[in-house]
Structure 1
Amino acid sequence: MNELKEIKFIDIDGIKLGHAEDEIGGTGVSVVIAKDGATGGVDVRGGAPGTRETDLLDPSEMVEKVHAVVLSGGSAFGLDASSGVMKYLEERDIGFDVTVAKVPIVCQAVLFDLAFKDPKARPDKEMGYKACINSETYSGDINGNIGGGFGATVGKLLGPDTSMKGGLGTYAVEVNGLKVGAIVCVNCLGDVIDPKNSEIVAGAFDRSTKTFLNSENILLNNINKEKTPFKGNTTIGIIVTNAKFTKAEAKKVSSMAHNGFARTMRPAHTMFDGDTIFTMATNKIESDVTTVGMISSNVMEKAILRAVKSAETLYGVPSLKGLASFE
């Protein structure tokens, strides 16, 4: 029987990963670079997305490959980080050849972290460029308060005062030469659940009683009341694989990977989340889209759990690791 072996996310053929943060402002950016290009797909399920260059990933559009995908904080302001990624790639002659220049194809999704620390601190061109530079030497497997997940929080149905720390998570596996990994910035409106026992891992948290409030119960108990939930959310991620796929197949992988969101976040894909998953296929090995999609949903699930389990309490926002000592 073939078994899945855990590997580092950066062990997937044809990619590099870089992070950068503004630790004082409370935001950050992560970038996955494929200098030789990767077949791209995307599936946007949330009702409030902030994205860049998702239209060209439609299977009917001309461009086949992307050179980088960016995940960042900063809400729509954070889309500026892609300019720094484009600068970095152009300097290295990486991009779609249009004869007079090579245009780097850079996609991006953002999350809302403006209420975390300083609302004037946003990922910009400089931070995007710095993340690319850092990708040249990054060899770790750091999760939690890093990159695009630095300012992420979860459980915000009642606002930031009952939120807990989210973060960035990665998880990757290999089986018979096939490699599939997930990177995700967890910043959801709802709670993060462990699918094994349906218990809340992190979410809406009463800091005085030190108890979880259960976001689904909050919604049910206020079913006849006007909904005014906190609007600053969104979980964003990327599936990376060394499989050979078309854009249509890459999109299907993104679609199946959303099962990982649904298993671990309750509720997921709300009108107040911009939940988005990209897929990057580096086209090194033949594989079946259904198999990769199945694995993708599993690694995304594990990456989400790793993000919140690795996060540290920051700026007074409690993390799972810090609950025991949180005052």
Structure 2
Amino acid sequence: MTQTRNLITDVPGLRVGNAHDGALGSGVTVALFDEPAVASCFAMGGAPATRETDLLDPDKMVPGIHGVVLSGGSAFGLDASSGVQAYLREQGVGFAVREALVPIVCQASSFDLINGGNKDWGRYPPYRELGYQAAAQAGHDFALGTAGGGYGATTANLKGGLGSASTVTSSGHMVGALVIVNAVASAVIGDGPHFWAGAHEQGSEFGGLGLLPRVSPEMRSLIWKGGPQPATTIALIATDAVLTKAQIKRLAIASHAGLARGLRFSHALFDGDTIFAAATGRKPLRDEAAEFTEITALAADCLTRAIARGIYEATALPFPDAQPAWRDLFKNNARG
């Protein structure tokens, strides 16, 4: 393994920034690309909240994008992209159309409107300013858990959060995942502490518990928020490979396997499960079919791991009746 952070920023050519409002109980995470990145996305949840996704289809003309935003706030949170655009325009970043400069920023938002925070923000929601702040703080190191767009995230039984992980393929391509885990279901087996992602854990990145030798029928019982409550797990997959827009679309589709492995369950009617994929184009493919196939497989693995890390690193919100964090209940179970 050559990565040093186990974060998506191990992929050369991108930075990540967080901003959140503690009283609001919500926040924004922004990924900015050093150069326009070839990107696409795929939504498999029944209730997505997104911005600028049509232009990511392979038949659309936009060759690359400047940033991806993952936020809380549901449809209100989509204002965050405007703040990121404002920051990028100030930096002289965007596609020039004569005297106009247009940064291309795509976004997905998760539903965290009933987590106990104060959502009485007046006429306009605060996400535009949070987006600007997150973009201004973008770097190679960033916090996980109750941070950025994962600040207000919840799951069926434990506090959700912001997760990330990375790996390198046998051909030397770097792959990383960034995710807001705000799931309608659960990331742990039964009542915990073991994660559904346990078989994919590297070292002790989310407690070192591994996978249970046997999962009983009772442990497989569905645990979910219940009722018409939207809940969304949204993610960005990145690689330094040189990929076409069609290949990136396939990468976004294949990466949804990571959601299915990391959560029990995903892609439900009230989920907005959406995955962006982006290539920074630093390392060409030599054996195209084999190397691309490995990238898609390891990207899904990274997302599975990132989901567990988002839960493992989270801390409970400071509100009455807030969900407990994994560490509140199981920190004595962690190994290493």
Residue 164 of structure 1 aligns with which residue?
A: 158
The alignment status of 1:304 with 2:307, answered yes or no, reads yes
Match of 2:119 in 1: 119
Letter in 1 for 2:255: A
Tell me what 1:251 maps to. Answer: 249
Write out per-residue CA displacement over residues 136-193 of structure 1, whole angstroms, 9 at most, x where no aligned residue.
Answer: xx442421000000000001xxxxxxx4200000101234541110000000111114
Task: Identify if the C-alpha distance between structure 1 residues 191 and 317 changes in structure 2 by more than 3 Å, giving closer, same or farther.
Answer: same
SS of residue paired to 2:248: helix
Q: 1:308 touches 1:319 (CA, 8 Å); kept in 2?
A: yes
- SS of the residue 1:192 aligns to: coil
> Once the two structures are superposed, what CA deviation does each residue of 1:194-249 show, in whole Å capped at 9, x if it has no partner?
33669xx9xxxxxxxxxxx9784468xxxxxxx96242310000001111111111
Q: Distance in 2 between matches of 1:8 and 1:149?
A: 15
Could you tell me the percent identity over the aligned residues?
Answer: 40
Q: 1:113 to 1:99 in 2, by over 3 A?
A: same
Larger strand fraction of residues = 1
Candidates 310, 321, 325, aligned match of 2:327 = 321
**CA–CA distance in 2 between the matches of 1:173 and 1:197?**
16
Secondary structure of residue in 1 paired with 2:149: helix
Of residues 167-176 and 258-267 in structure 1, the stretch that sits farther from structure 2 once superposed is 167-176
1:115-139 deviation per Cα after TM superposition (whole angstroms, max 9, x unaligned):
012233555211111001111xx44
- TM-score, length of structure 2 as denominator length: 0.82
| Secondary structure of 1:48's aligned partner | coil
Alignment-derived partner of residue 131 in structure 1: 134
- Count of residue pairs the alignment pairs up: 294
Give distance in 2, aligned partners of 1:217 and 1:11. 35
Aligned-partner Cα distance in 1 for 2:222–2:167? 35
Structure 2 distance, partners of 1:145, 1:281, is 27
Partners of 1:256 and 1:25 lie apart in 2 by 34
**RMSD between aligned residues:** 2.3
TM-score calculated relative to the size of structure 1: 0.84
Classify 1:218/1:191 alpha carbon distance in 2 versus 1 (closer, same or farther; 3 Å). Answer: closer
Which secondary structure does the structure 2 equivalent of 1:248 belong to? helix
Q: How does 1:174-193 map to 2 (within 5 A)?
A: 174-175=168-169, 176-193=171-188
- Aligned counterpart, 2:88: 89
- Distance (whole Å) between structure 2 residues aligned to residue 66 and residue 306 of structure 1: 27
Q: How far apart, CA to CA, are the structure 1 residues paired with 2:77 and 2:246?
A: 28
Match of 2:18 in 1: 19
Q: Secondary structure at the match of 1:148?
A: helix
Report the counterpart of residue 292 of structure 1 in structure 2. Answer: 295
Structure 2, unaligned stretches of length 5 or more?
Answer: 189-194, 200-205, 207-217, 286-290, 332-336
In structure 1, C-alpha distance between the alignment counterparts of 2:119 and 2:245, rounded to whole Å: 36
Unaligned runs of 5+ in 1: 156-162, 202-212, 220-226
SS of 2:281's partner is strand
Looking at structure 2, the residues matched to 41 and 19 of structure 1 have their Cα atoms a distance apart, in angstroms, of: 22
Look up the match of 2:263: 265
* Cα distance in 2 for residues equivalent to 1:305 and 1:40: 25
Are the counterparts in 1 of residues 197 and 261 from structure 2 also a CA contact under 8 Å?
no
C-alpha separation between the residues in 1 aligned to 2:196 and 2:220?
16
Alignment of 1:99-110 (within 5 A): 99-110=98-109
- Give the Cα–Cα distance (whole angstroms) in 1 for the partners of residues 74 and 177 of structure 2: 22
Once residues 115 and 166 of structure 1 are traced to their aligned partners in structure 2, the CA distance between those partners, rounded to angstroms, is 14
Q: Does 1:59 align with 2:41?
A: no
Q: How big is the shift at 1:20?
A: 0.2
Judged with a 3 Å threshold, the aligned counterparts in structure 2 of structure 1 residues 9 and 218 are, in CA distance, closer, same or farther, namely: closer
**How far apart, in 1, do the equivalents of 2:183 and 2:261 lie?**
13
3-state DSSP of counterpart to 2:61: coil
Q: Say whether the 8 Å CA contact 1:169–1:307 is kept in structure 2.
A: yes
Amino acid of the residue matched to residue 179 of structure 2?
A: V
Q: Residues 218 and 14 (structure 1 numbering): CA distance in 2 closer, same or farther, change over 3 Å? A: closer
Change over 3 Å in CA distance of 1:77–1:197 after alignment to 2: closer
